[in-house]
Structure 1
Amino acid sequence: MSDKSPLVSVVIPCYNYGKYVEEAIDSCLQSTLTDLEIIVVNDGSTDPDTIEFLAQLDKPKTLVIHQENKGLPAARNVGIRQSLGKYILPLDADDKIDPSLLEKEVDILESDPHLGFVTSWMKSFGDSQVVWRFPAYNFYKLLFCNMVANSSLFRKEAWEQVDGYNEQMKRGYEDWDFWISLGEKGWRGNTIPEALLLWRKHSRSMISESVRIHDHLVEQIIQNHPSLYTPEKKLELRQIWLPTEKPNAGRLSGKPSSAVKTAPSSLPAMHAAPAKPQSKKEKKNRTSPAPEKKQSVVQRKPSSTPRSKLSRSMEGKTHTQTKKSFSKPLLFI
């Protein structure tokens, strides 16, 4: 690796993903931005093929760190501490990036010193092909909805200010917790409306475990940021970030909020926005008369919002909906 400090450090924790990590590394080496280093953290892998691959890994601009298994957030922190870049991109070992991701996200951070991180839309590959279109960054909504891709470029300076990823979040949602920590310190985010992160969808993933213990992880996030979830602070932040919405907008309840109604229609079915109640005129227009004989058409009442999981609200009093609650990306409303 060069003695000159790179502009970007890509940190890739790897636990038993030797069959995927080379693709992740190569996607970074194919970036249009070449002023980078890649740090792979072998987080105590036990898979023989992964151990052998990482022991023999010899790629340009790439360093491998070996450690005992400490979990994903700790592995990221270890890699970031060893990094030399001004900007950090955390990348999962089974994912890839578009060649233009680093250049586009760096340009935005360079142009605005008040931005702490830049995210983008995400496209899955492997078992499914879906484009995830995240809304514009909003810190108030981030408290209840993770609208930031796990692999988003951030300033190392910002990471230092929040003491890195919370290493207690070993079982998931460590990225959501981290973005909240940055916002708590006053750092803002920005979203590029392009699918620049390539997320591998396959059966073997932390997501399943995170979904299973979703309520526990949400409570853990609240405990990590208690001052943000008081009624007074939430009201203050809502007035700052949602100044034009009605006082009850964005409340955590079983009813669809404005954020849900404007959810992108391109999300997969289980992430779709709730069906909007139709007027009598709309219902009538939907019923097309038969060409020859009359047919009875049954108008069904629009179903309630699809729910994949009911969890306690961040207030700990009411219940709210999640649309496939998970950390890449978690949509919790």
Structure 2
Amino acid sequence: MTTDLVSIIVPCYNQSQYLDECLLSVLNQTFADWECIIVNDGSTDSTQKTAKKWLEKDERFKYAFQESSGLSSARNYGIKQANGEFVLPLDADDKIGVDYLQLAIKEFKKNTKLKVVYCKAEKFGEVNEIWKLPEFSLHNLSLKNMIFCTAMFRKIDCQAIGGFDVNMLYGWEDWEFWISMLKKGGEVKRINSIQFYYRIKSDSMLMAMNPEKVKYTEEYLSIKHADFFVKQLGSFKSLLRATDEVKNDYEEKLNSEKFIVNSFFKKFLGITIFRNK
């Protein structure tokens, strides 16, 4: 493993039309000590042909093929072959800013307690806007994910948790990954610069998350990381208690409002609007 070398892992499944743009953003990095492993996850389009063109352009690009096994498996396959101390996953339809690697490595050098470094982000494609995400905290992470997959971490920390979970079949695999990596400690830093560009497409995996898939994924996460969710959110009993308290408070306010409305209409119009059941 080479110190300071960043291994950029680019899984690609039938997205060759975006691959050139993605890899150009890698080639343009101001930080030169990188390798980029393009993982062809059983594509049936021109992914191999496009990738080979980049291998001829710069020897830092590398190519690997596996039978189609899904996004998490493709990332793991690339990470297993990575020579760098640091890893940055990058999906084939996304892009990174020219200073991302340089800024991220700088943060790791300043603080040895860091486990994850990411940045501000912007959406492009069918939507063009700043990607507004909550500030990181473990509590916020227990509610939703705010760290996209293209964040930098050490390979050794990835290996310690077994990589990306291949059982996350329908998406949110990055959310599960960050929970696994951070729930027992480690600091996180967000760079105050837009260095990641997330392509919005109508056929993206997140767009395909129907209620049944959401239910499966939420239940899987809840079981696998029960310790984390209980610590951050409380037990199911405490959640039920809090729900009941909110319900009772709402009913008290509603009854009070009903009393005020009834008093007004009875006094001035001689009628009762709300009647007790």
TM-score, normalised via structure 2 length: 0.79
**1:318 alignment partner in structure 2:** none
C-alpha spacing 1:164/1:4, structure 2 compared with 1 (3 Å): closer
What amino acid does structure 2 have at the position aligned with 1:54?
A: A
What amino acid does structure 2 have at the position aligned with 1:31?
A: Q
TM-score, normalised via structure 1 length: 0.66
Q: Is the 8 A contact 1:120 1:134 kept in 2?
A: no
Show structure 1 runs of 4+ deviating over 3 A: 3-6, 54-57
| Counterpart Cα distance in 2 of 1:166 and 1:229 | 18
Partner of 2:209, secondary structure, is helix
Q: How does 1:146-225 map to 2 (within 5 A)?
A: 146-212=145-211, 213-225=213-225
Question: Are 1:53 and 2:62 matched, yes or no?
Answer: no
C-alpha spacing 1:5/1:26, structure 2 compared with 1 (3 Å): farther
Q: Is the 8 A contact 1:105 1:119 kept in 2?
A: yes
What amino acid does structure 1 have at the position aligned with 2:173?
A: E
C-alpha spacing 1:171/1:252, structure 2 compared with 1 (3 Å): farther
What amino acid does structure 2 have at the position aligned with 1:20?
A: Y
Q: Is the 8 A contact 1:135 1:191 kept in 2?
A: no
Q: Please, which moves more after superposition, 144-153 or 8-17? A: 144-153
Q: Is the 8 A contact 2:4 2:105 kept in 1?
A: no
| Counterpart Cα distance in 1 of 2:86 and 2:243 | 35
Q: How does 1:80-95 map to 2 (within 5 A)?
A: 80-95=79-94
Query: Structure 2: any 5+ residue segments left out of the alignment?
Result: 247-277
Q: Is the 8 A contact 1:139 1:188 kept in 2?
A: no
Once the two structures are TM-superposed, the CA of residue 32 in structure 1 deviates from its matched residue by 0.8
Q: Is the 8 A contact 1:123 1:130 kept in 2?
A: yes
Once the two structures are TM-superposed, the CA of residue 184 in structure 1 deviates from its matched residue by 2.0
**1:126 alignment partner in structure 2:** 125
Q: Is the 8 A contact 2:20 2:50 kept in 1?
A: no
| Counterpart Cα distance in 2 of 1:235 and 1:122 | 28
Q: How does 1:231-246 map to 2 (within 5 A)?
A: 233-234=231-232
Once the two structures are TM-superposed, the CA of residue 134 in structure 1 deviates from its matched residue by 2.7
Q: Is the 8 A contact 2:73 2:164 kept in 1?
A: yes
C-alpha spacing 1:106/1:132, structure 2 compared with 1 (3 Å): same
Q: How does 1:1-333 map to 2 (within 5 A)?
A: 7-47=5-45, 49-58=46-55, 59-60=57-58, 61-212=60-211, 213-230=213-230, 233-234=231-232
| Counterpart Cα distance in 2 of 1:205 and 1:191 | 25
Instruction: Give 1 or 2: higher helix fraction.
Output: 2
What amino acid does structure 2 have at the position aligned with 1:216?
A: Y
| Counterpart Cα distance in 1 of 2:142 and 2:160 | 19
Aligned residues: 237
Once the two structures are TM-superposed, the CA of residue 56 in structure 1 deviates from its matched residue by 4.8
- Highest Rg: 1 or 2? 2
| Counterpart Cα distance in 2 of 1:166 and 1:4 | 26
Q: Please, which moves more after superposition, 170-179 or 190-199? A: 190-199
| Counterpart Cα distance in 2 of 1:209 and 1:133 | 21
| Counterpart Cα distance in 2 of 1:4 and 1:113 | 17
**1:275 alignment partner in structure 2:** none
Q: Is the 8 A contact 1:133 1:193 kept in 2?
A: no
Once the two structures are TM-superposed, the CA of residue 235 in structure 1 deviates from its matched residue by 6.0
Query: Structure 1: any 5+ residue segments left out of the alignment?
Result: 237-246, 256-333
Q: Please, which moves more after superposition, 192-201 or 36-45? A: 192-201
Q: Is the 8 A contact 1:43 1:75 kept in 2?
A: yes
| Counterpart Cα distance in 2 of 1:76 and 1:38 | 12
| Counterpart Cα distance in 2 of 1:111 and 1:41 | 32
**1:261 alignment partner in structure 2:** none
